[in-house]
Amino acid sequence: MPLLDLPTLNVVQLGFGFFATFFAFNSQGFIEEAVIDSAADNGNINKHAGYYSLAIIYAVFTVANFVAAPIVDILTPKWAMVLGSLCYAIFQVGFLFLNEWYLYGSSALLGFGASIIWTGQGSYLSQNCTKETTSRNSSMLWAMSESSLLCGGLFLFIVFSVQGAQDQIPKSTINILYSVFTVLSLIATVIFSLLRAPYYPETVDRKNYGKLVGSTFKLMFTKKMILLAFVFAYTGLEQSFWTAIYPTCISFTKQLGSNTNALLALNAICTGFGQIAAGVLSGILGDRVRKIGRDAIILVGTIVHLVVYALCYINFPQDSSLKKTDDMGGLIQPNLAIALICGALLGFGDAIWNTQIYSFLCDTFSKQSAQAFALFKLYQSALSCAAFFYAPVLQLYWHLVILVVTSLFAACCFFYVERISREKSSVRDSYNFTEERDIKMRGDVQYRVNDNEQQNSE
């Protein structure tokens, strides 16, 4: 007897594919600006090309989410993820021969690829889950994919420790790093191409493509999805914070240390550890999460994030998100240990929010999973894009104010939507129980009638 059933094996294989994809992408994300700065000194590329690239990725990602659901339904989740993974590989290989226009074009392609790979992931996951396994499987998938942060951080730390403290990254190091990233993206493509068919496949009408697009817009304006939009939006804001703004604060706070590339790698390791810890914890709890309630788990995630934002205020100078500074933190001298703890807690809280959202969408929108996950990524990427646009002009403390307010509002919205869904589920379960009981009683009555008729005939 196999240790894992077939649906779980499918989710594990999916997790390995996302591990390889985001080992490469997340690792390069931490060093992209440093790599471009190094190339800009030689006059090969615009010094701010990294910011333009990021804006293009999220802008295209946002727009592409409107059509991601029908594309995934037409291609099937498996082949949509294969195509999306190829887009990541095309983006990575461009850093071996940095060209500004190739960077912008491949960034747009990556934005499209990201929309279908994430929507495909959500659809494939939901088609390999039942109500009893959604929490476990989504947590397991999240832990596997986000462990790429931990492993990628270790990889970068080793590379930069060998390289030593340098302001610029040598061309030879760049070639080694991005060769590894490109190969990993291609390995992920192979893993996705070998995925088995989903265990609980959805039936899709591929003759009416307009209807598929329309169903996404129709779902967008339902009461639940309007409320969830605020939840999704918050995950986009906090994602932009832990992936870019917070690492920038570490890099620009001179009192934390000298080898900033190595410090960024350490932060990535801590963030990855936090992501994995939350995913593993949710997986261990498994079915008990349903008894505890997703709203209670989200409350924990909200409290963790609020604590982090307070620590960031205490530990970092207000200009640390904008420029290099020797200033004191809000209340204390900047401390590296606190900074790394914040990185771990940011990852922990992010994983809690995302795993519970995954679980909720799989449970509540099992028949429209591609559309639901497309809208999730639409709102998330739109707010991440907005955050990257205002990040260059806002001091750290304003970022923290925005995050505190939106986290509280998002938590309230999630509590309300979860309560509505739980009440409807209880009513539906009660109705099904009553119907089954009535059918059983009618069967018993019919049995007694038939038995009496048989006795009378005798």
pLDDT, position 338: 92
pLDDT at 117: 93
| Element containing residue 64 per DSSP (H, E) | helix 49-75
- In this predicted model, what pLDDT tens digit does every residue of 243-270 receive, in sequence order? 888 888 887 888 887 776 778 888 888 9
Structure confidence at residue 78 (pLDDT): 92
pLDDT the model gives residue 408: 96
**CA angle 242-248-250, nearest 5°?**
90
Cα–Cα nearest to 77, from 10, 149, 19: 10
- Whether 12 and 137 have beta carbons less than 8 Å apart is answered as no
**pLDDT for 430:** 46
Indicate the CATH number of 1-137+146-204 among 1.20.1250.20, 3.40.710.10, 1.10.287.110, 2.40.50.140: 1.20.1250.20
- The secondary structure of the chain in percent helix, strand, coil, rounded to multiples of 5, reads 80, 0, 15
Q: Which amino acid is at 319?
A: D
Homologous superfamily of 215-429 in CATH?
MFS general substrate transporter like domains (1.20.1250.20)
Q: Which of 242, 50, 271, 284 is nearest to 157 (CA)?
A: 271
- Residues in CB range of 137: below 8 A, 6 or more apart: 7, 8, 11, 125, 128, 129
- Return d(Cα 99, Cα 108) in angstroms, integer: 14
Give pLDDT, residue 290: 64
Q: How many helices (H) and strands (E) does the chain have?
A: 15, 0
CATH 1.20.1250.20 location in the chain? 1-137+146-204, 215-429
* pLDDT for 143: 76
Type of residue at 15: G
pLDDT tens profile 364-423:
887 777 788 878 888 998 898 888 778 878 889 999 999 999 999 999 999 999 888 877
- For residues 293-324, one letter each, b for 16 or more C-beta atoms within 10 angstroms of the residue's C-beta and e for the rest, the string is ebbebbebbbebbbebbebbbebbbbbbbbee
Per-residue model confidence (pLDDT) at position 302:
94
Which residue ranges in the chain fall short of pLDDT 70?
1-4, 33, 37, 41-44, 47-48, 51, 164-168, 203-210, 212-213, 260, 283, 285-291, 424-458
